[in-house]
Structures are given as C-alpha cells and as structure tokens.
Amino acid sequence: MKKLFAIILAAAILLSFTACSSQQESKTEKSGESNRETVYQVALLQSLTQGYYDGIIKVSELKEHGDIGIGTFEGVNGEMIVLDGTVYQALGDGSVQEAADDETVPFSNVTFFDSDVKEEISKIKDINALKDALDKTVEKNGKNMFSFVKISGEFKKMNVRSELKQEKPYKSLDKALATDQREFNYDNIKGTVVALYCLDYMGGLNTPGWHFHFISDDKKKGGHILELAFDSAQAEYDITPEFDMRLSDNSDFQKMELAKDVSGAIKKVETNEE
C-alpha cells in the first residue's frame, strides 16, 4: 500500500512539473511572438536633435531587437539602414559599409519584419506623393499603430543625405547638418526604401509621420531620403502595435530638457525645410 502511494505521489509531482514547464514554455513562446510585434527605440529623436550623440547600445545588441530599421551612429557618423538583419552605415563621403558589431548607437528604431500587407505603388512624382499613398494604406490597416514599410524597385530619382562624424563638444543636429551634411543624387537606381510611420501621439518621443532611409541593391549607396520619384515599386507593410524604449543613465543625458519643443529643428533636419 505504501509502495502504491509513493508511486501515485511521484506521478502527481511529475504531472505538476510537466504542467508548469508547459505553461512556462507557452509564456516564452508568447513573449517571443510579442517581441516580433514591438518597435524598439533607442533614446529619442528629440535628444538626438538637441545634440546627444553618445552611443547607448552596441550594434550587436540592437540586432537582437529587430531585423529592419533606421537610425544613426555615435557622433552621428552616418545614416543607419537595417535590412534583412544587416546593419548598414551610409557615411558622409557617400560610401556604405556594414556596421561593426561594437559600433554604438545613440538613436534608432527597429523591429522584426513580418509582412502584413502587400501592394504595388505607382506614379510617385515626389516624396509627398509617396507619403499620401502610404497614408491611405495605413489609414485602412491601423493608423494608430506603428508601421515599418519596405519599398523595393527602381527609382528614377533618389536624393539622399548623410553627414560627417561630429566631435565633442557636440552642436545641435540642425547646426551640425548646416555645415557637415552631404547630399547625393542618383538616377534609375535599384534598391529598397525602409520607411517608419510614427503615430500622431508620438510627438514627445519621436516625430509623427514618415521617416525614410534608402539602400541600393548593391549595398554601395544609401542614406536619409530627401526626395525621390519612381514609376512603380512593391511595398510591404509590417503593422506593429507595441513599443519599447531604451534610455541612457549617462549624466549628460539626464540633464537634458527633453520636454523642450524642438519640432522646428526636427522638421529642418528631416526634410531640409526651414
């Protein structure tokens, strides 16, 4: 009888352990799925605009949070384009290289790309026409969620910029770009636009609306897009409902007045418009 009771008790403990393990595995799986539906942001566009260019995380860590994205590097040493899990660095001299894992990042947005919507976009004469076309699709599929978009094709016109690396003491980004921005124009170039849509209520953490970076198919040209045009291209949208932010405990970062309105400066650095 004692032997039978011991067997029953052991079986009950085993079943209990198996159930707990199963629940834990289920939570892990759900967490993994959730992570794919999260836009991960390093610092704020507002902190970058005010001149905080020190790296907060390494490229190797950033890649753990996404395989598509945009951003920049310590000292605003070029524009970041993340595509298919590779982090590219479009430098101020017009060249593009794969960013080293130990390169550090002061600002970025990334996610893991899952295609939710596909469409062909045609007859785009300028960047505002592209924004209008993308807005219509976002409006139908979730205007109050984030969207990352890949737009692949041949571009009749592609005007991009990058910038020379800044040294301390750092100037604000608009002042740095006034002297150290470099623009590059390409015609009939094949490549991919990586676009991020930020929601209207993100004004204190990023800037609402569209952000565009470009990388050519040969991975030799790229940067932050100022203007473009194309006849036809394929667009894929990843509609993303979650958001996670990484901040810095650096004393210089903690002294910043991040509630200050820098929308005018952001517009200038994003579009070259006053």
CATH number at residue 229: 3.30.1330.80
Averaged pLDDT for residues 5-13: 42
**Residue 4 maps to a domain:** no
> Quick one: pLDDT band at residue 84, thresholds 50, 70, 90?
very high
List beta partners, residue 219.
Answer: none
**Residue 23 maps to a domain:** no
Average pLDDT, the chain: 89
Predicted structure pTM score: 0.87
Give residue 105's domain range. Answer: 36-245+253-266
Averaged pLDDT for residues 205-215: 95
Of 160, 194, 185, whose CA–CA distance to 270 is shortest?
160
- Residue whose token pair is 């569209």: 210
**Residue 30 maps to a domain:** no
**Residue 142 maps to a domain:** yes
List beta partners, residue 81.
Answer: 70, 88
Averaged pLDDT for residues 71-84: 98
High-pLDDT (> 90) share of the chain, % = 79
Residue 14 has pLDDT above 60, yes or no: no
**Residue 18 maps to a domain:** no
Number of domains in the chain: 1
**Residue 17 maps to a domain:** no
What's the pLDDT score for residue 10?
A: 44
**Residue 66 maps to a domain:** yes
Of 135, 192, 132, 129, whose CA–CA distance to 158 is shortest?
192
Q: What is the pLDDT of residues 158-174, one digit of tens each?
A: 999 999 999 999 999 99
Q: What is the pLDDT of residues 222-231, one digit of tens each?
A: 999 999 999 9
> Quick one: pLDDT band at residue 154, thresholds 50, 70, 90?
very high
